[in-house]
Structure 1
Amino acid sequence: MRRWLVVGLLLVSACGVEVEEEVVATPRAVGPLGPPMASSGSLVTAVGGEIVACEGWGGGDCDTVYDIGSVTKQFTAAAIVELQSMGRLDVRDRIGRHLDGVPPDMRSITIQQLLTHTSGLVGSLGDDYEPLSRDDLLREAFASDLRSAPGTRYLYSNVGYTLLAAIIESASGEGYEQFLARHLFEPAEMTRTGYVLPDWESADVAVEYDARGRAHGTPLDHPWAEDGPYWNLRGNGGILSTARDMFRWSRALDGDELRELFRPRVREGAHADTWYGYGWVVLDSPVGRVQWHNGGNGLSYAEVTRTPAEDAFVFWVTNRSRGPGWNLERNGLTNALVSRLASLAPQPPL
């Protein structure tokens, strides 16, 4: 399996090199916006809890900090599972046990329905950087119309995961990021993951670029509250991390409590071959069960994949997901990697 993952790494790295032929590489960000047309990325692969390779392209490396988008959701889900193990909540709780002001049509929504995107809540309520406070977000969420009756349909909802962040605060008595840092990141020795608590060096945070190569600054250059992003983003996206820290997270995921994240619970569509767990997508493939999630904001993009049967882990991220001739969100490099691994697997004897 180790040889297959190295080949997979070369496959993904080759895609990165192909992208770099269109752009000017740079060693980390320079100034508040960085040089024009710069893009970078990093990737880590591991087998058996040990790194096989951890490399970067375009000036990125294993310690370059990127926005990992909706990969954030697995941290939110893990915090909920941790709070359940502490006896602070139960995923079967209705959300009104932890949040005030829930309207009648939403009172049957449970924490588990938020985790599995079956609450019926809208996908989003506006721009990631709209200055909404926690109370503003809750008020707008509870004033919105449900898209389906709670528990009847899978509908991906960033709003649902933001409500989970608010529940984490209510149940723990701590801020969302503070709880994650103390109960998830510190035990895993993840010193370069979070919103504002890590001691960031601005030059270590990747500048983000759009499809035309225009710099949009780092995530920290956008409007945020003093304690992190505003509440359209908090809990559902926007956490910053590195390839090396995501490897450390992969080892933490082997704990008994966090196995709850990977149980397939809701099919992602009537005829889908994928299931949603808690902050993770689960699917069966030629190399066995695959646990996967992605995240992107139209600029940066990340994917994380685990194959438990082979005890393998892959994470990759880039600060420019689109450009002339490529769209990394649509092309799905991880799918190509998994397919490649399957094709390289030894065939049983006839």
Structure 2
Amino acid sequence: MRVPRDLALSASFATADDIVRSYHQRGGQPAIAYGIVRDGELVHAAGFGARSLGGPPPDERTVFRIASMSKSFTASAIMLLRDEGMLALDDPASAYLPQLAGWDNGAADAGPLTIRHLLTMTAGFPTDDPWGDRQQGLPLAEFDALLAHGVGFNWAPGTRFEYSNLGYAILGRIVAAAAGVPYDEFVRNRLLTPLSMSRTGFAAEEFPGSELALGYRRGQDGWQELPFDPYGAFAPMGGVFSCVADLATWASGFAAAFRPVIEARLAESDCVAGAAHPLAADSRRLMQLPQAVTGWRAADRLPGAPPGSPAYYGFGLFIDEDPALGRIVSHSGGYPGFGSNMRWHPPTGLAVIALGNGTYARMNAVAELVLGAVLPPAPGYQVALSPGAKPWPETLAAQESVSRLLLGWDDAAADALFCENVALDKPYQERLADLALLRERIGDFAPDTSRPAQSDTPAHRRWWLTGEGGTVAVAIQLNPQRPPRVQSLGIAVPPAPGSPLAKTLTALVAWLNDPAAAWPATVPVAPAADAGLIARRLRMAAVWAGQVTSGAFQAGDGSSSATVELSGEHATANLAVLINPVTGELRQADIAV
């Protein structure tokens, strides 16, 4: 385990330990082992409780059953075989398992059940956690007989996500059929050994008893030890044993697929025996991209606001698009005697592993808390669909060129910088008029070096212009041709003092800061707008943010629309309003915290 160079991250370890210690004290499991990973290295690990009743606490080398986290190993095995041309994701599963050939697939007109359906849990099978967990040691011959007898479908394949252990057990049989060797042998030889994951396997007997966490359930008389199920047909869905140290290597391999520098460092490290990762980076990325909408949705952030972000399933992994943190990739495991979770943040390479030895111990909750505690604050994180997630050099150069152009406009320079659509979308004369309004309302401006620029994608850039009268955002988007050119330019224009738009913003901010105030009489609401819903949403945000002050303008045309940053006691919010500039009626108001 390596000590990180980042002192801020090191300081957060004590906070993380407090989180896990407090969670352990709730009594959901006899022990928790956890670790924090950064840039491919396990930089912190700790254990609380007892790996076996009366025994020592676990550490990063203590082996736990990881249950459904095993699915990512099975999916990786499938991807290895795909990359080698041994199978295709859209092949019918029956091409490898003849006992599936007579299935009706849930509907008379259903298409074939494919490997992709099984990977993405869109096969249509009924969810089967309680039953599937008890099939771990099912002999292969009995499983084959079960398949030959047929199974029930809730949905036709490819039409809906439903979590299925059966589907991953079938994938394990496909791995064996395509590879020509048993499933566990293929995973061990092609994944675990190249990654030097020597403390990962498929049976409790592989590990010294003193280094194994025993599984428990809470009964009427306290903790009761549960026996280990043997290796069997359902091992591909939940049969892997591993430890924090090995799982740090496993999670790092996925996070590194979006970070080429870390990928190169891993290839030089002992954890992969000096070799490249056995699974290609593009295949690891594909596993972490949304393949199916789960239907499990995060709670709405505010009543009446847009719905919370949906959750997705990739190949053996869950993907969440957090509105503040960007992409989080994870998988939990729940099993009689054990609970587990691994999650990582591709934009930063930070990962957390948490393992517990209580039945269905909710390690996802504590891992989520720890990851939130160690993630550095940032104005916005990339969703991490692009390796490196940094702006192109051409994007940075365009930022400098646009800044110079805004200080001294020249049509020839603009023509050289912009795509032809820029002048068509908004003629230069109108853009010059906007710049004149901007100078009139905030004074002579210059790029604000005190506020960091932001990039939502490598081809995007947002920065700030500040004058004596305020601060506004500028944003550009480059096009995909080579060399790229600027295809869009947006400049926030603040409202004129005393204008209907300015009066509306002033009145709304004053109302937000006075919990007892009635809706301002100076802000009439258009008949088509829902005045009650607008008021409730704004008031909810005010409670969350506390007293606020107006700051930079993020967007707006200066007369009918504006988005202004509100700095609050407890949080920052963006207030967006749309009015009728003639009547002053409020047509729309949204707030994001």
SS at structure 2 position matched to 1:215: strand
Aligned partner of 2:250 in structure 1 is 249
Q: Counterpart amino acid of 2:366?
A: L
Contact 1:192–1:198 at 8 Å: present in 2 too?
no
Does 1:345 pair with 2:354? Answer: no
Note the 1:171-186 alignment, pairs <5 A: 171-186=178-193
Does 1:274 pair with 2:278? Answer: no
Distance apart, 1:314 and its partner CA: 1.2
Distance 1:338 1:145, change over 3 A: same
In structure 1, how many angstroms separate the alpha carbons of the residues matched to 2:10 and 2:47?
14
Does 1:53 pair with 2:44? Answer: yes
Does 1:207 pair with 2:206? Answer: no
Contact 2:67–2:333 at 8 Å: present in 1 too?
yes
Aligned partner of 1:290 in structure 2 is 328
Distance 1:130 1:6, change over 3 A: same
> In the alignment, which of 311, 317, 341 is matched to residue 303 of structure 1?
341
In structure 1, how many angstroms separate the alpha carbons of the residues matched to 2:371 and 2:329?
11
Aligned partner of 1:44 in structure 2 is 35
Contact 2:352–2:370 at 8 Å: present in 1 too?
no
Distance 1:22 1:280, change over 3 A: closer
Distance 1:21 1:283, change over 3 A: closer
> In the alignment, which of 104, 123, 129 is matched to residue 119 of structure 1?
123
Aligned partner of 1:28 in structure 2 is none
In structure 2, how many angstroms separate the alpha carbons of the residues matched to 1:238 and 1:165?
11
> In the alignment, which of 139, 142, 145 is matched to residue 139 of structure 1?
145
In structure 2, how many angstroms separate the alpha carbons of the residues matched to 1:22 and 1:341?
22
Distance 1:178 1:321, change over 3 A: same
Distance 1:333 1:5, change over 3 A: farther
- Decide which structure has the larger Cα Rg and report it: 2
Distance apart, 1:129 and its partner CA: 4.8
Note the 1:219-238 alignment, pairs <5 A: 221-224=227-230, 228=231, 230-231=232-233, 233-238=234-239
Distance 1:152 1:10, change over 3 A: farther
In structure 1, how many angstroms separate the alpha carbons of the residues matched to 2:83 and 2:204?
25
Distance 1:321 1:52, change over 3 A: farther
Between the two proteins, what is the percent identity of the paired residues? 24
Q: Counterpart amino acid of 1:284?
A: E
Contact 2:68–2:237 at 8 Å: present in 1 too?
yes
In structure 1, how many angstroms separate the alpha carbons of the residues matched to 2:7 and 2:321?
22
Task: Tell me: higher relative CO, structure 1 or 2? Use CA pairs within 8 A at least 6 residues apart.
Answer: 1
Note the 1:95-110 alignment, pairs <5 A: 95-102=93-100, 103-106=102-105, 108-110=112-114
Does 1:312 pair with 2:360? Answer: no
In structure 1, how many angstroms separate the alpha carbons of the residues matched to 2:13 and 2:290?
27
SS at structure 2 position matched to 1:214: strand
Give me the CA root mean square deviation: 2.7
Contact 1:287–1:341 at 8 Å: present in 2 too?
no
Q: Counterpart amino acid of 1:94?
A: P
Of Structure 1 and Structure 2, which has the larger fraction of its residues in strand?
A: 2
What are the ranges of 5 or more consecutive residues in structure 1 without an aligned counterpart? 24-36
TM-score by length of 2: 0.50
Distance apart, 1:340 and its partner CA: 3.8
Q: Counterpart amino acid of 2:317?
A: W
Aligned partner of 2:289 in structure 1 is 263
CA-to-aligned-CA distance 1:264-311 (integer Å, 9 cap, x gap): 111111756111000111111212211111001143111111111111
In structure 1, how many angstroms separate the alpha carbons of the residues matched to 2:366 and 2:284?
26
Note the 1:87-102 alignment, pairs <5 A: 87-102=85-100
Contact 1:8–1:337 at 8 Å: present in 2 too?
no
Distance apart, 1:39 and its partner CA: 1.8
SS at structure 2 position matched to 1:278: coil
Distance apart, 1:38 and its partner CA: 8.0
SS at structure 2 position matched to 1:135: helix
Contact 2:171–2:236 at 8 Å: present in 1 too?
yes
In structure 2, how many angstroms separate the alpha carbons of the residues matched to 1:38 and 1:117?
29
Distance 1:156 1:22, change over 3 A: closer
Contact 2:215–2:359 at 8 Å: present in 1 too?
no
SS at structure 2 position matched to 1:211: strand
In structure 1, how many angstroms separate the alpha carbons of the residues matched to 2:204 and 2:218?
30
